[in-house]
Structure 1
Amino acid sequence: MKKFFGNFENYIMAFGLTVMTFITVINVISRKFLGLSMSFLEELTTSMFILITLLGAAAAAKRGGHLGLSVLTDLLPKKFQKYVSLVTWAVAAFFSVYLIRYGLVMVKGEIAMGITTPSLGWPEWWFGMFLPVGGIFILLRFTEWTIKAFKQSDKEGK
């Protein structure tokens, strides 16, 4: 179970990418051979792309795969390098909290106004929830990475 939750965003991304690929192929074939475009499929593809992008950022954070200034960090003594990860976490936390807060305000507005998607007529907030959910995953994974960096630094310091 721990492995499942440890890779939860990877499973969602794999499912989303599969769905995106499938519906995009259907839309391309429909356009090419039937001469009609199914705009509702484009809505789904765009929404899945947003979700996959945010979860991909979280997955990269978990692995420490975000672009960093390792050239500068590597010049610092080992005992100070963990503090750079703390600064990285602070910036990521600020960004994540902004995503969560802005996303929730956006979703509340979409619910209050009863906004629906143009083609499908589905509530827009269903897709708007991807923003705060993605922010939560990014915050969790950056926190996990920072704790791991501190533990590793403490082990190396002994």
Structure 2
Amino acid sequence: MNVLKVVDKIILKIEEFILSYAVIIIALMVVGKALSRALFSYSPPFADEVSQIAIVVATFMGISYAARKGRHISMSAFYDLAPFKVRKVLAVLIPLGTAAVLFVLAYYSGFYVLDVYESGRVTSALEMPAYYLYIFIPIGFLLGGIQFLRNAWINIKHRDEVYLGTDAKDYNDEKTKELEGTHL
């Protein structure tokens, strides 16, 4: 188990590094392009392409990070109003279903990356192999699927609490505990 925890921490640090620098690159490219166009009437041809690559990387590598932190997009109106037992069941079933979908998407996107690789396509401005851009898609889906499996597992393992992510307890439980504490 200690080896898995170390691997998990390494993956977390890699995700944080990739996401941080992808956002910085997006900001630099967008602001730099606007300033360059305004000041010099020139727009570097690679700026859009670099921004696009950084957006794809941030989007797909962010799936796992968002799932880990319980910060993924969710439609929680029913969930928030549900009693603990219903939320607990949903906290297991939803991540399992999401993981299954992400694994299927990783499978098919992997074939797409392979097709792009075999085609020999290159990007227009940087003329780098196009599959470099797309390789982050199946990796992101795979890591996201693994993270959602972990979310389901942590909710199975800890029966008395609901977790939105492996690093995030359900805020509804915190509110319930606070309310119970004030009524004593």
1:6 aligns with 2:12: yes
Distance in 1 (CA, whole Å) between partners of 2:141 and 2:118 is 22
Q: Which amino acid aligns with 2:108?
A: Y
Contact 1:63-1:145 at 8 Å conserved across structures: no
Matched, 1:54 2:60: yes
**Which residue number in structure 2 is paired with residue 107 of structure 1?**
113
Aligned with 1:29 (options 27, 30, 35): 35
Q: 1:48 to 1:67 in 2, by over 3 A?
A: closer
Q: In structure 1, what is the equivalent of residue 180 of structure 2?
A: none
Find the counterpart in structure 2 of residue 140 from structure 1: 146
* Secondary structure of 1:139's aligned partner: helix
2:26 to 16, 20, 26: 20
Between the two proteins, the alignment pairs up a number of residues equal to 155
Match of 1:150 in 2: 156
Instruction: Return the structure number with greater helix share.
Output: 1
Unaligned runs of 5+ in 1: none
From 74, 93, 103, the counterpart of 2:99: 93
Q: Is the 8 A contact 2:95 2:152 kept in 1?
A: yes
Tell me what 2:128 maps to: 122
Identity %: 23
Secondary structure in 1 matching 2:46 = helix
Match of 2:174 in 1: none
SS at match of 1:9: helix
Shift of 1:117: 0.4
What SS does the corresponding residue of 1:39 show, helix, strand or coil?
coil
The 10-residue stretch of structure 1 (122-131 or 76-85) with the greater mean CA deviation from structure 2? 76-85
**What are the ranges of 5 or more consecutive residues in structure 2 without an aligned counterpart?**
1-5, 162-184
When the two chains are superposed, the root-mean-square deviation of aligned CA atoms in Å is 2.2
TM-score of the pair, normalised by structure 2: 0.73
Match of 1:82 in 2: 88
Query: Which one-letter code corresponds to 2:90 in the other structure?
Result: V
Counterparts in 2 of 1:68 and 1:26: CA distance versus 1, 3 Å: closer
Deviation readout 1:75-128 (Å, 9 max, x if unpaired): 555345332123212321232123212221111111111010011110000011
- Residues 101-110 or 91-100, more deviating: 91-100
